[in-house]
Structures are given as C-alpha cells and as structure tokens.
Amino acid sequence: MKQSLQTIVRKAGELILNAEAFRVEQKEGHANFVTSVDEEVQRFLIAELQQLLPGSCIIGEEQENEALTDAPTWVIDPLDGTTNFIHSYRFSAISVALLENRMPVLGVVYQPYTNELFFAEKGKGACLNDHPIHVSNTSIDHALIGFGTSPYNVELADKSMKAALYFLQHAADVRRCGSAALDLAYVAAGRQDVYFELILRPWDYAAGSLLVQEAGGCFAMPELEEADYGRSTAVLAANPECMKIAAEWLKPFWG
C-alpha cells in the first residue's frame, strides 16, 4: 500500500502544479477560501483511495463529514495552504492519513512545488523521499518555532499573536508559514523544533501528527484528556528537548 499511496498523492500534486485558471469562493469564517483546485484534488483522492482500500470511509475538508468511527478512514486535506496557493506563495501541501480504530497508521504530506514527500507508517518510522528523518535535539532557547494563527477563528487572533510573541522573546525565532501539515512535517524533519496552533481540524493535523511521532517527536492535543482525531482542537508538536517547556509556556493561551 505504501508505494500505491505515494503514487496517488504525487498524481494529485500534478493537478496543483498544472492548475491555471481556477475558481475561488469564500467559505464560512474569516479568510476561509476554497478553490476549484481543492475540489478537483479531493475528488481525485477520494476515487483513488477508495479503490486502494475498498469499503474505507472518507473525512475530507471539502465535504460534509460523518462522525469518525473505528472503521478504516482516510482523512484528507486536498490543498493545505489554500491562501498561499491563491497568492502563488508556493507553500502548500496535500495531507492524507489513514486511521484505524480512530488512530493514524499511515500519513503522507506532499509538497508538490519542492517534490518533497513526507511519509510515516505506525511503528516503522518516518521518511522524506524515502530517506529516514528525525526530529532535532535543539534546546528551547535556540529553537525555531512554527505557529499558526487559526485565521478562520478570529476570536483566537489575540491569543495566537501573544503566544508567538512570547516564543519570539524566549526562543530563537518564529515562523508563520500558512500550512499546518507542512509545519508538522518540518518538525518531523528537524527543520523546526516546535509547532503550535490554538485550533486545527483533523485534516490539518492527522498525517502530520504521525510524522512527528514516528520521527521521534512529541505530539499533543493539550485541551483534550486523550487524543481524538475526530475533533477540532489545539495542537502542540515538538522535539523531546522542547516539549515540556513549550507546553508550560503555552498553558496561559489554551482554552
């Protein structure tokens, strides 16, 4: 399944790379956009993934979804970083996770512009273009911090920016790149040391969470008593060196 899944995701990436004129629509929430490319990529992925694993369920960003069950379920973000895509910022990704018994067992994050495919399988590690990756061992005072601003939830803007400012003042630097899936993949690859966002949807974090954990990192949903991949929630990912301190620093901003 590994090679077939990677082939499917790479083909989906070609739809993004070859996109020319496309439709843009506003969804519910501040600056929450969808394009005809998001929709085309999701249709392609659904058809291919259900053929790859007959009888599997689908949870995707661009559709109405049923509640998560124990059944094998693909969790899809066809174009994470839609605003980046609209502006030709070239920092967007396809994110696909397979959940079994409500937990991720496969995860793929593909950056088509750089041809970087991050892949993880539960218990078998994580890789980038088939080369093993591992989180960094950077300490928090030298850490590069990725963060998201939860732009669709304007009530979180003030908290998000205050949290980022605190990290800017106490760590090395911060980055706000506009794709949670890629930020999580970058933690897995040791390019960032911490990533947080005050609310994300399952399709934003499902694949990336497995990448981080299989690369030796830590992933948490701090506002929940236990992980729930059917919920929108705050997330924190970090290398083991930074995780405890980052969680402490973020306590005032959760909830």
pLDDT at 219 over 80: yes
**17-21, 30-34, 152-156: segment of lowest average pLDDT:** 30-34
Domain regions of the chain by residue span = 2-132, 140-253
pLDDT at 196 over 80: yes
Tell me the mean pLDDT in the region 26-35: 78
Instruction: Provide CATH code, domain 2-132.
Output: 3.30.540.10
pLDDT in tens, 144-187: 999 999 888 888 999 999 999 999 999 999 999 999 999 999 99
pLDDT at 130 over 80: yes
Give percent of the chain with pLDDT exceeding 70. Answer: 99
Q: Which CATH number fits domain 140-253: 3.40.190.80, 3.50.50.60, 3.40.50.720, 3.30.465.10?
A: 3.40.190.80
Tell me the mean pLDDT in the region 42-56: 97
With tokens 């659904």, the residue in question is 46
Residue 21 · residue 30 · CB < 8 Å: no
Given this model, what pLDDT does residue 10 score?
98
pLDDT at 209 over 90: yes
- Sequential DSSP letters for 193-249: SEEEEEEE-HHHHHHHHHHHHHTT-EEE-TTSSS--TTS-EEEEEE-HHHHHHHHHH
